[in-house]
Amino acid sequence: MSSMNDVHSDVATTSSAQQRPLSGFGIARALGKNALLALPPQAFDEDFITRRFLGRRQIILNRPAGIHHILVEHTENYRRTRPTIRILRPLLGTGLLLSEGDDWKYQRRTLAPAFAARTIPMLAHHIAKAAATVISKLSVGDKRPVDLLAEMQFLALEIAGRSMFSVATERYGAAMRRMITTYAGHLGRPSLLDFLLPRTIPSPRDIARRRVRRRWVDLIGQIIAERTAIGPSSDLFDLLSTARDPETGTGFSGEQLLDQVATMIIAGHETTGVALFWALYLIAITPDVQERIAAEVENLDFSPGAAAEALPKLIYTRAVVQETLRLYPPVFSVIRQARDADSADGVEIPADAIVMISPWVLHRHRRLWARPEIFDPSRFLPGAQPPERCTYLPFGVGPRVCIGGQFALTEATLVLGSMVRAFQIERADNEPVTPFAMVTTQPDHPLLFWLHRRRGDASR
């Protein structure tokens, strides 16, 4: 395909094929199979949808002011749900993502300096170094098609490892990736018991998750021990291990540090890797977009020492990443449960109701976006009308906005620019792709691509 207007056939709204309303058990089954199948078609047109889900009211909320009310103004009234905690805690522990109340505030204050803008040059150095290694490897094997999802997940894990520990992840990367992938494919899927059982009563899956937790803690502990033995270095581990709460002067205990490291590695590589895949997929089917990136990056230096200086010049490349995050947000939904009854911009929310705020729906909502099914990076170029508040949430919004959002955007922009500078990217087949949402939004099957080396690329 050569024009942006042709992409709508490849950007499918998965739930549009679903016609009958799902029962509560039907919603639970869909969430365990492909969470996008649990979204009713009318959600892409309406301000909110109310339905029953296993004895509770569930509200799919698309009203921007109501979303602002919940995620920005009244966050204390909305907690993470029991299934979310059951599924994520074995890998993330009580790190920033799953902490609540004063504990969350303490962690956020302590972590914030490590993700300040001044750390971007350091992170850009690690990103560029890891990207150059992967591009060099891919350049050697350009006689066969490449599974870019696997490659980008590996690259994102390598970047997370280098940024966190200043070292490549050859020793532990395969074990980490295998454990995360295996967990997401089975134990990371919600079961009916995850929704029905009180948190104090373990299900068979909970027992299996605890076993994974022990192995995961052992693995991260080994990595931390080896990194600690190295001594001071220019990486996130240095910043996290020496971080102090500006109010109390206290730092993280050993267990807290382990959970923060685990959270940053998993959240940082899983979401960015899949976002990079979708960006490469989209530019592979829109050659005009790809060639515009190629023109922008042709004379830029992506070496580790110069990557930070190249970043502000990647204006169009960054817009492509932002539009990719609109169409394929890695975090496809934010789920909260109301502690007390509330009203969010006129939408009544009973106590204990489940509120779903879905970037997948918001970013494709027909009342909130012009031609939402079209891949159009110009939406995010300088001078374009910015999205309405709380209609574009790839990193969330409010106090709990993703602390690593700017790092992720920096990583995706630099890697996309580096890949296009090195390769002309084409799909190896035209088989239709269905987005599949479980932990993140992925393709339903591996996709293969041809990588043709570009002439004059300085990396060769």
* pLDDT at res. 456: 60
* pLDDT at res. 168: 66
List the beta bridge partners of residue 335.
Answer: 356
Can you give the pLDDT of all 460 residues of the chain as single tens digits?
A: 434 545 543 444 444 444 567 787 788 888 888 889 999 999 999 999 999 988 889 999 999 999 999 999 999 999 999 999 999 999 999 999 999 999 999 999 999 998 888 999 999 999 999 999 999 999 875 578 999 999 999 999 999 888 888 776 778 888 888 999 899 888 998 888 999 898 889 999 999 999 999 999 999 999 999 899 888 888 899 999 999 999 999 999 999 999 999 998 888 888 999 999 999 999 999 999 999 999 999 999 999 999 999 999 999 999 999 999 999 999 999 999 999 999 999 999 999 999 999 999 999 999 999 999 999 999 999 999 999 999 999 999 999 999 999 999 999 999 999 999 999 999 999 989 999 998 899 999 989 999 999 876 544 4
Q: How do the domains of the chain map onto residue ranges?
A: 4-453
Long-range contacts of 200-205 (CB under 8 A, 24+ apart): 203/86
Output the six-digit token pair for 426. Answer: 């084409």
Q: Is the dihedral of CA 130, 135, 141, 144 positive or negative?
A: positive
Long-range contacts of 402-407 (CB under 8 A, 24+ apart): 402/267, 403/96, 403/108, 403/111, 403/112, 403/115, 404/115, 404/264, 404/267, 404/268, 406/115, 406/117, 406/120, 407/115, 407/120, 407/123, 407/163, 407/268
Q: Which region, left, alpha or beta, applies to residue 231 given φ > 0 means left and ψ of -120 to 50 means alpha?
A: left
pTM of the model: 0.92
Distance (Å, whole) CA 387 – CA 271: 22
* pLDDT at res. 267: 84
* pLDDT at res. 347: 97
Distance (Å, whole) CA 117 – CA 174: 31
Residue 368 identity? L
The architecture in CATH of the region 4-453 reads Orthogonal Bundle (1.10)
* pLDDT at res. 457: 58
